[in-house]
Amino acid sequence: MTVLKTSIGRRSFLKTTALAGGGFMLSFSWLAGCKPTPETLELPKEWFELNGYLKIGENGLVTIMSPNPEIGQNVKTSMPMLVAEELDVDWKNVIVEQAPLNTTVFTRQLAGGSQSISQGWKSLRMAGATARKMLREAAAKTWQVPVDEITTEASMLYHKASGKSASYGEMASAAAGIEVPREVELKNNSDFKIIGTSRNNVDGKKIVTGQPLFGLDYRKEGMLIAMIAHPPAFGMRLKSVDDSQARNMPGIKDVFTIKTYPEDYAQQWCDVDSFPELVVVVGNTTWQVMNARKALKLEWEQFQDHEISSSTFWGTTVKIKVPRGLENSTQHTRVMTEFSSKVAKVVRKDGNPEAVFKKAAKVIERTYSAPFLAHNTMEPMNFFADVTDGKAELVGPIQTPEFMEKSVAARLGLPLEKIDIQMTRQGGGFGRRLYGHFLVEAAVISQKVKAPVKLIYTREDDMSFGVYRPAYFAKYRAALDADNNLVAFHVNAGGIPEGPLFANRFPAGAVDHYLAEEWSVPSNISVGAFRAPRSNFIAGAEQSFLDEVAEAAGKDPIQFRLDLLDRALKNPVGENNDYEAKRYAGVLELVRSKANWGEEMPNVYRGVSAYFCHDSYVAHVIDLVMENGKPRVEKVHCAVDCGIVVNPVAATNLVEGGSVDGIGHAMYSGLTFTNGTPDQNNFHQYRLIRHREAPRSIDVHFVKSDVDPTGLGEPPFPPVIGALANALYKATGKRHYQQPLLGVGITLG
Amino acid sequence: MATFNLTVNGKKQEVDVDPATPVLWVLRDHLDLVGTKFGCGIAQCGACTIHLDGTATRSCMLPVSSVGDQEITTIEGLSEKGDHPVQKAWLEHDVPQCGYCQAGQIMSAAALLKENPNPTDEQIETAMNGNICRCGTYVRIKAAVKTASKNINA
Ligand code: FES
Ligand code: FES
């Protein structure tokens, strides 16, 4: 049993409601999810707030606030499950509400790094446990018995000796008067009743019936629609605007330019500055604004080399060089090829790799590359803002509300208390909505037109605005001795404008002579975190390379990896290896047995891969079949170690989705540039994986674990790319080194 | 501007809009039916799928002037209580991740099953190929279509 000091104030919830403000809450009621599902439940007459995370109605209904942004990773269901578990409530009686940004009650209201569950694991359970303890104390006081004798089960309080019992609803009012306990005990894992059981998406019914949930669906009385025009190319800025035609078109209220950030503003890591000045069209309806925007006559010019200073996620300050010029993909490839054959910055070195490579029996060298990627969340960027009377109401999809509150406050010149940020359900995140320039833009526009405004990006605006996954390059070398042992390993990796290297990950620690080097090339194309940053490329490259090394060594690819992991476990090289070899081997062993690895099947071609990121371990085996001369993914076998699995149905869905997403991006997606302009700006040019190309089936297996939960949104994405490449080699006899594979004429299905 | 008389989810609606306005924006901006989603605007992603006289149609490139007296059904009108076999199957399989594409997916699936209550895997793949799911829920979508098909035929 874990005993924790509580850090939850009683009044915190009241503060939340006060902040949200009466009128606002009303106009917002469709988002708050006040109607209980299942609909058979009646709303209570009165709510009793026990802490910022939950309130209990006199009829036993419980509202649990879900603190973090929901981007499809299921936190709106799985985080409240943690509260419900320790509260010992019947899940049937739970209503979930999306919490607004409230830094006094909640910590880390962020969707990023696959850490919502792991970071909320203690605090959310503590919120439930605190309330449960208050209910027990209230019952003890009412019944005049010792609190230790009060037990709970499924929303009921019991005193066995006297035979007394009461529901949570009946005791809620008394519990609200109990002092917040100083310490609470958390359940033992073996006592979990909700954690580890499958609970369907709390928004499921609303999603399948098309009820308003997303940022784009939000509306408020008197709301106007806004769109922006940004430079057509990276490296350009606004020169002149002729809006004479546009501003006279039907429904148009105003046309003007905005600067997203103030002149002397020190950027945060989540601010985006590639297009500092934008042209804005505001009008009554989306269609009117779209048409007027087309009628703008805009001139652009190139900007000069400059430097911006920005704070990092960790609070340090960095200077970023932004070079002038209109960049091209052909030039990018040339520069990356050049850099990868030069000596770069040594990030890690073990032993004497140069000497060992010289006397190796066999040296294998391969180079891998991947293009820029656009996130392409299905719901394009958008935000609602109403900035009037010295306060700002902001509603929409954002992964970093806490950070963006600071950016928008600085821009509007308002104190943080005057900024309200409400999060809608988000039509995908994948890292794109960490960068909330659109929230600031919406606020600036609303302030200027003095009206509520919804800013909408079209797909083209979204895909050409930047914040891409960088373009990557990695060169690998491996040295085998005469007995086919891997004796030296060298990785030289880089990218535009940043590299993908994780120098201390496998196979570091498993090879005596190891060298990891890194380089980067400055660019004016803006980039950002994309589902499993850096891992999303380097895993596929490394795992394809290891497959070739295993083949050259004449070893089974799984056994080859397991032997290396065994070495890393028993006699690791160096001290900074940031993976657990045992758990790594665990997923490989699990997938080996579940996939019946080694069994030959007619027309089935298999590839394997395993990777560690976001504190979790994932291994894939892909079964390809050839149909009409084309490869098709028949099955994906996947083994995952993410510690305790909170909500198996959703976790499985996420692993399936991550696997499809990884296959899709490796196969089809990529963004290229001509004179600074993206060559692709919508789905007719930028391909995402479609139904027919998806695997026929995906089997997901979780390692049974008692370890506290680790990441899950990102880890299934990176390794699947290696498994795909390795299976394709088996099926076609050819290895491929450049993503997307579509570029070399391969398609699935 | 011109006046159009539309039948949306069985209800007569009058709108006064530019004749070129796509039905998607008429639904979302004028009729406050926001279940039909905007994803690409160029008939490539399927997020905006509605039924036009029962046939799955992309509403983002469909000018309101071309609708005439054809009946429009949106996700909000697919069933009265949200209990269309496809919607039920979607809940049973817990299909959605972010959920944004799912209204379009459901509308495509419902149109398919209406025309062909017993689709093969191949036919499901073809009918659903125009609906992109960035979250990658395709395996569940297929399973849910099959469950719905089974329940329709039961
Ligand atoms: S929005 Fe109509 S198909 Fe994409
Ligand atoms: S569920 Fe997110 S796009 Fe399909």
Taking CA A449 as the corner, what is the angle to CA A444 and CA A450, rounded to the nearest 5 degrees?
Answer: 95
Instruction: Tell me the ipTM for this assembly.
Output: 0.99
In this prediction, residue A133 has a pLDDT band, given cuts at 50, 70 and 90, of: very high
Q: Which atom of ligand 1 is nearest to the CA of B132?
A: 4
pLDDT at A312: 85
* B6/B55 same-domain check: yes
Domain residues for the domain of B52 are 2-78
CA distances to A215, A229, A233, B87, B90 from A461, rounded to whole Å, are: 17, 8, 12, 32, 32
Q: Is A210 on the interface with B (CB under 8 A)?
A: yes
The amino acid at residue A169 is G
Taking the centre of ligand 2 as the mean of its atom positions, its distance from the CA of residue A484, in whole angstroms, is: 46
CATH number at residue B67: 3.10.20.30
Task: Please list the residues that pair with A469 across neighbouring strands.
Answer: A373
Give the mean pLDDT of A581-586: 98
Please indicate whether, in this complex, the C-beta atoms of B106 and A208 are within 8 angstroms of each other: yes
Q: Are A545 and A366 in contact (CB under 8 A)?
A: yes
- Residues of A whose CB is below 8 A from B74: 210
- Cβ of residue B126 closer than 8 Å to a chain A Cβ: yes
Same-domain pairing of B90 and B138: yes
Question: Is it true that A3-197 and A344-373+468-528+536-732 share their CATH fold?
Answer: yes
Residues B11 and B60 in one domain: yes
Is the Cβ pair B138, A691 closer than 8 Å? yes
Q: What is the 3-state secondary structure (H, E, C) of chain B?
A: CEEEEEEECCEEEEEEECCCCEHHHHHHHHCCCCCCCCCCCCCCCCCCEEEECCEEEEHHHCEHHHCCCCEEECHHHCCCCCCCHHHHHHHHCCCCCCCCCHHHHHHHHHHHHHHCCCCCHHHHHHHHCCCCCCCCCHHHHHHHHHHHHHHHHC
- Say yes or no: B25 and B49 in one domain: yes
Residues A108-130, mean pLDDT to the nearest whole number: 92
CA atoms of A237 and A430, how far apart (whole Å): 28
| CB interface of A with B, residues 35-74, below 8 Å | 70-74
CA distances in angstroms from A660 to A611, A663, A697, B134, listed in the order given? 16, 5, 10, 9
Measured CA to CA, the distance from residue A219 to residue A284 in angstroms comes to 12
pLDDT for residue A11 is more than 50: no
pLDDT digits over A80-95, tens only? 999 999 999 999 999 9
A660 touches chain B (CB under 8 A): yes
B104 within ligand 1 shell (Cβ under 6 A): no
Is the Cβ atom of B43 under 6 angstroms away from ligand 1? yes
Last residue of a domain, one of B46, B78, B110: B78
Average pLDDT over residues A312-326: 90
Smallest-distance ligand from the CA of B23: 1
Q: Which residues pair with A620 in a beta bridge?
A: A609, A638
Task: Report the pLDDT value the prediction gives residue A15, as an integer from 0 to 100.
Answer: 32
User: Is the confidence at residue A4, as pLDDT, over 80?
Assistant: no
Q: Do B136 and A203 touch (CB under 8 A)?
A: no
pLDDT grade for A184, boundaries at 50, 70 and 90? very high
Query: Using one digit for the tens of pLDDT, what is the confidence trace for A194-249?
Result: 999 999 999 999 999 999 999 999 999 999 999 999 999 999 999 999 999 999 99
> pLDDT class for A12, splitting at 50, 70, 90?
very low
Q: Is B40's C-beta closer than 6 angstroms to any atom of ligand 1?
A: yes
Q: Which atom of ligand 2 is nearest to the CA of B95?
A: 1
B47 lines ligand 1 (CB under 6 A): yes
**B22 and B72 both lie in a single domain:** yes
pLDDT at A30 over 60: no
> Within 13 Å, how many C-alpha atoms sit on residue A405's CB side?
20
| Gap between the Cα atoms of A393 and A385, Å rounded | 6
**CA of residue A383 to ligand 1 center, whole Å:** 20
**Average pLDDT, stretch A482-494?**
98
The reply to whether ligand 2 has any atom less than 6 angstroms from the CB of A207 is: no
Q: What is the pLDDT of residue B51?
A: 98
Residues 66-95 of B with CB under 8 A from A: 74-76, 78, 82, 87, 90-91, 94-95
Tell me the nearest-neighbour CA distance from B14 into chain A, angstroms: 17
**Cβ neighbour number for residue A247 with a 10 Å cutoff:** 17
Q: Is A365 helix (H, G, I), strand (E, B) or coil?
A: strand
CB of A216 less than 8 A from some CB of B = yes
What's the mean per-residue pLDDT of chain A? 93
pLDDT at position A35 over 70:
no
How many structural domains compose chain B?
2
Same domain, B25 and B64: yes
Q: What does pTM read for this prediction?
A: 0.95
CA B83 to chain centre: 15
**Arch. (CATH architecture) of A344-373+468-528+536-732:** 2-Layer Sandwich (3.30)
Question: Secondary structure of chain A: what % helix, strand, coil (to 5)?
Answer: 30, 25, 40
Kindly list the distances between the CA atom of residue A152 and the CA atoms of A69, A105, A160, in Å, as whole numbers in the listed order: 31, 26, 11
Backbone phi, then psi, for A51, in 5-degree steps?
-165, 180
Average pLDDT on A444-468 reads 98
Over range B18-22, report the average pLDDT: 98
For helices B102-115 and B85-92, give the axis angle rounded to 10 degrees.
Answer: 130
Give the model's pLDDT for residue A6. 57
Confidence of residue A2 (pLDDT cuts 50, 70, 90): low
Contact of A315 with A266, CB cutoff 8 Å: no
Looking at the structure, do residues B104 and B129 belong to the same domain, yes or no?
yes
Instruction: Tell me how crowded residue A331 is: count the other CB atoms within 10 A of its CB.
Output: 13
Please, what is the Cα angle at A118 between A115 and A120, to 5 degrees?
100
Residues of B in contact with A73 (CB under 8 A): 97
| Chain A: residue whose CA lies nearest to B101 | A378
**B72 and B89 in a common domain:** no
Please give the backbone phi and psi of residue B75, each rounded to the nearest 5 degrees, phi first: -55, -35
Are B91 and B73 in the same domain?
no
Rg (CA), chain A: 28
pLDDT in tens, A723-732: 999 999 999 9
Q: A271 and A309 in contact (C-beta within 8 Å)?
A: no
Contact A657 B132 (CB under 8 A): no
Q: Tokens standing for A158?
A: 């019991």
Helix (H, G, I), strand (E, B) or coil at A404: helix
Span A270-297, pLDDT tens digits: 999 889 999 999 999 999 999 999 999 9
Single-letter code of the amino acid located at A114: S
CA distance A580 to A399: 29
- Nearest-Å Rg of the Cα atoms of chain B is 15
The more confident residue out of A734 and A34 is A734
Query: What secondary structure does DSSP assign to A186-233, as a single string?
Result: EPPGGG-SSTTS----TTHHHHHTT-S-BGGG---TT-EEEEEE--SS
Nearest CA in chain A to B30: A285
Q: Cα separation of A390 and A179, whole Å?
A: 37
Residue A61 falls in which region: left (phi positive, over 0), alpha (psi -120 to 50) or beta:
beta
Asked if B29 and A287 come within 8 Å (Cβ–Cβ), the reply is yes
Q: Cβ neighbours of residue A703 under 8 Å, at least 6 residues apart?
A: A583, A586, A587, A590, A617, A639, A640, A641
Provide the pLDDT for residue A3. Answer: 62
Domain residue limits, chain A: 3-197, 215-306+381-456, 344-373+468-528+536-732
Quickly list DSSP for A601-660.
Answer: -TT-EEEEEEEEETTEEEEEEEEEEEETTEEEEEEEEEEEE-SS-S-HHHHHHHHHHHHH
Distance of CA A305 to the CA centre of its chain: 32
Q: What is the pLDDT of residue A548?
A: 98
Q: Does an H or E element contain A506, and which? A: none
As a whole-number percent, the residues of chain B with pLDDT over 90 amount to 99
B50 lines ligand 1 (CB under 6 A): no
Distances from the Cα of A602 to the Cαs of A624, A625, A634, A731, in angstroms? 11, 9, 13, 11
Contact B100 A378 (CB under 8 A): yes
Instruction: Please give the pLDDT value at position A40.
Output: 57
pLDDT, one tens digit per residue, over B95-141 is 999 999 999 999 999 999 999 999 999 999 999 999 999 999 999 99
Collapsed DSSP state (helix, strand, coil) of residue A372: strand
Is B59 in the same domain as B23? yes
Check whether residue B70 and residue B98 sit in a common domain.
no
The single residue listed with the structure tokens 């829920």 is: B137
Query: pLDDT band at residue B55, thresholds of 50, 70 and 90?
Result: very high
Read off the CATH number of the domain in which B92 is found. Answer: 1.10.150.120
Share of residues in chain A with pLDDT > 90 (%): 87
> A265 pLDDT band (50/70/90 cuts)?
confident
Residue A202 · residue B81 · CB < 8 Å: no
Report the distance separating Cα B15 and Cα B5, nearest Å.
7
> Can you list the alpha helix ranges (DSSP code H) found in A93-203?
116-143, 168-176
Asked whether the beta carbons of A428 and A380 are under 8 A apart, the reply is no
Tokens of A747: 């398609």
Q: Are residues B74 and B9 in the same domain?
A: yes
Q: How far is CA B69 from CA B17, B52, B65, in A?
A: 17, 10, 10
What is the overall mean pLDDT for chain B?
A: 98
Which domain-ending residue is among B78, B104, B122?
B78
Whether A414 has a pLDDT exceeding 60, the answer reads yes
A9 pLDDT more than 70:
no
State how far the Cα of A640 lies from the Cα of A591, in Å rounded to an integer: 9
Report whether residue B132 contacts ligand 2, using a CB cutoff of 6 Å.
no
Query: Hey, which of B134, B138, B139, B141 would you mutate to test ligand 2's pocket, going by the most ligand atoms within 8 Å of its Cβ?
Result: B134
Nearest CA to ligand 2 atom 4: B133
Amino acid at A556: D
Q: What is the CATH number of domain A215-306+381-456?
A: 3.30.365.10
Q: What is the pLDDT of residue A39?
A: 55
Instruction: Report which of residues A30 and A364 the model is more confident about.
Output: A364
For residue B46, the ligand closest to its alpha carbon is 1
Q: Report the CATH architecture of A3-197.
A: 2-Layer Sandwich (3.30)
Question: Pairing state of beta strands A224-229 and A453-456?
Answer: parallel
